[in-house]
Structure formats: C-alpha cells, structure tokens
Amino acid sequence: MAESGFNFQKFIDDSKATLTNPKSYFASMAKEGGFGEPIIKALIYGLAAGIISFIWSLIGLSAAGGMGMGMFGAGAGGIMIIIGSLITAIIGLFIGGIIVLILSAISSGSTDFEANIRVCASLMVLSPVNALLSFLGGISLALGAIVALLVSLYGLYLLYNALVSTLGGKESIAKVVSIVLAIIPVIILISTLTCASVTSNYVDKMSDSKDMKELQDKLEDMAEKMEKEMDK
C-alpha cells in the first residue's frame, strides 16, 4: 500500500480497467506493497455488494434478503446483509488467494502469496456486479442462472489473464485450467435447469391428477371438522 494511504481514485480506475481491459491491467498490476490494499479493496467490493443486495431485498427481488427482513426488520435485516457481505469478502479473499496460488502453481506461475492475494482482490470486482444482476433471479430462475453463469465465465477470463500476465503462468496450461473450470458451472447450470424443469412438470401433473384432487378434498374436510371442533 502506498505511503500516502489508500488511493480511492486509483481503486476506481483499477476496477474499471479490470472489467474493460483485463489484459492490460493485469500486465501492469503491482504484485507487492503489503496486504492492506487488497484487504481494503475486498472490503469495498463486499460493502458495495451488500448495499446492492439490501436494496434488492427492500424491493422484494431477493429471497434471502426477504428472509432477513422478516427475521430482523428492515433496518436490522439490512445491517445483517451488509455485515454478512463484508465477512464473506474477507474470508473469500484469503481462501480465494490460496485457490489462485494453487492454480498459479499448476500453470508454472508465481507462488508468492501476496501476489496471489492481490490478484484475488482484483477478481472480486465481480462481487458487486453479481449483486447488481442478481435481481434477474427474482424475475426468472432460468434467466438469473444464465446471467450468473455468464458472469462466472467472464471471471474465468479475468483469471486467465491474471495467471498469464501477472503471475507469469504458461499460457497453454492457463488455457487448459480455465477451460476445465469453465465446464464445471456449465454442467451445474444444465443440471439445475433440468432438475427444475422435471420437478415443475411432476408438480403440474400431480396437481392435475385425480389422486391429488381427492387428497386435497380430504384435507379440506379435515380442516373444516377441526374448525367445528374448535368452535365447540
């Protein structure tokens, strides 16, 4: 971290460069300077993601946020969402740094922990992006899942550039690592959407079946009898 302290304008410029010109940014990114800067970056990204999630929860486009509102009220629920996001950011920074270090080692790149932590902090720019687009899941599960997948794939593109340009990994190995990692969320998305479709069709068939209607009638009769007994 610079002697003058954290440079917020540089943070904004670096965030823009990470998203719009990752190859150039990661090629010139500082690999040392202390752990203060990446920790502050992670906290800012976490705070931004938490605030965005809180806003969506107020509007009613976040299932988790809605639960928080019900349990703690709007103000306390919002605080819990933001605090949770900050905690997740710090834990994610160091766990993510270890994961990036392992991937860098596989790619024959740098195994310096600080350099990998700094890369991870830069990759966390996608946290507020994910939070910003998460409202789409409240509109359509499939749309939200597809958008989340696209963000994840772009994150892997950023990681690829970081492995090659910042950490000095071999380009051919980094490509293979990125492709393998890209296959995983695609498989998960396909499996999730398939299961959701099968479950939805099964529920629809059950709802239309004669047995289900008979069961519903019996439950209604039981409910009426219980109400009469309670009235007595």
d(CA 219, CA 221): 5
d(CA 149, CA 137): 12
Indicate left, alpha or beta for 218 from its phi (over 0: left) and psi (-120 to 50: alpha). Answer: alpha
Better pLDDT: 180 or 58: 180
d(CA 165, CA 2): 22
State the pLDDT confidence band at 231, using cuts at 50, 70 and 90: low
68 close to 83: Cβ distance less than 8 angstroms: no
31 close to 114: Cβ distance less than 8 angstroms: yes
State the pLDDT confidence band at 215, using cuts at 50, 70 and 90: low
Return the CA Rg of the chain. Answer: 24
